[in-house]
Amino acid sequence: MTKPLPDKLQTAVITGGARGLGVHIVRALHKAGFRVVITDVDPEPAEALASELDLAGETAVTATLDIANPDDFQCVLDRVVERWGSCEVLVNNAARTAVQDLFDIDPAFFNEVMAINAGGVFAGCQIFGRHFKERGYGRLVNLASLAGQNGGTATGAHYAASKGAILTLTKIFARDLAADGVTCNAIAPGPLDTPMVRGVLGDNLEKALANIPVGQLGSPDLVGQMVAFLASPQAAFVNGACWDVNGGIYMR
């Protein structure tokens, strides 16, 4: 099996890397020494972030990727392999939701969210996992959610269900690829200190903080740092795990 040399610059592809939590993940991976491929459906913010990290375009590049289209994953992988010979890391971060009451969710939209979120992770893990398996090395990191663990519906039952499915897919790919030097892990963030979370909480922020044992929202930078660790060679003995970043709201 082919193993990456310690001094080889490794490449990480991040879905939804141009906005929200994805930006923090991209920054953390780049700071940790990874070459980053920032993918998003909107090329403009991705290009702005890549230019900020590396104006020369040697260690930070962009690619258009819609997680609802499995062919996009293959196209991005092919481009990365053509340019650098291999890819070592895929971070499945992109997702879709719309805050809705349980009984207001249209069944068709429920299926759409499931297909995009869980289906996107499946397609990414399958396509990149096949490449990692052939090379004998790789890291798959999937962004799940506290909602997928405790059945929380603040972000919608469709979103929570899709994140629960991601946790199961993580275990399946972890078990199947382990013998080939490939690991697959998930991270389940709770309420993070982002404009979106503060907007959703609104006047309920103090009440929400009272329910968090550490008494504060989490820093999205912590998630980025955790991704960087799971993407590294040092995480070789971590596989099929779900890493909780929730301030103690959900304890196992």
Q: What CATH number has the domain bearing residue 33?
A: 3.40.50.720
CB neighbourhood size of 165 (10 A) = 18
What is the number of H-type helices and E-type strands within the chain?
A: 9, 7
Q: What's residue 3's pLDDT?
A: 57
In a domain, 250, yes or no: no
Query: Quick one: CA dihedral 249, 17, 75, 116, positive or negative?
Result: positive
Cβ atoms 68, 120 nearer than 8 A:
yes
**DSSP string of 63-102, one letter each residue:** EE--TT-HHHHHHHHHHHHHHHS---EEEE---------G
In a domain, 6, yes or no: no
What is the rounded distance in angstroms from the CA atom of residue 46 to the CA atom of residue 50?
Answer: 6
What is the rounded distance in angstroms from the CA atom of residue 69 to the CA atom of residue 124?
Answer: 10
Domain boundaries, position 171: 11-244
- Residue 58 is given by DSSP the state S
Q: Which residues contact 3 (CB under 8 A, 6 or more apart)?
A: 136, 137, 181
Cβ atoms 47, 99 nearer than 8 A:
no
In a domain, 181, yes or no: yes
Which stretches of the chain score pLDDT less than 70?
1-7
Q: Helices 21-31 and 220-230, interaxial angle, to 10°?
A: 50
In a domain, 5, yes or no: no
Q: Which residues contact 172 (CB under 8 A, 6 or more apart)?
A: none
CB neighbourhood size of 174 (10 A) = 21
Greatest alpha-carbon pair distance for the chain in Å reads 55
Please indicate whether residue 250 is annotated as part of the active site: no
E strands present in the chain:
11-14, 35-40, 60-64, 89-92, 138-143, 182-189, 242-245
Token digits for 50? 């890549």
In a domain, 203, yes or no: yes
Catalytic-labelled residue, pool 159, 167, 186, 197: 159
Which backbone phi and psi does 156 adopt, to 5 degrees? 105, 140
What is the rounded distance in angstroms from the CA atom of residue 231 to the CA atom of residue 54?
Answer: 21
State the total domains in the chain: 1
Q: What's residue 7's pLDDT?
A: 57
Q: What's residue 181's pLDDT?
A: 97
Q: What's residue 202's pLDDT?
A: 85
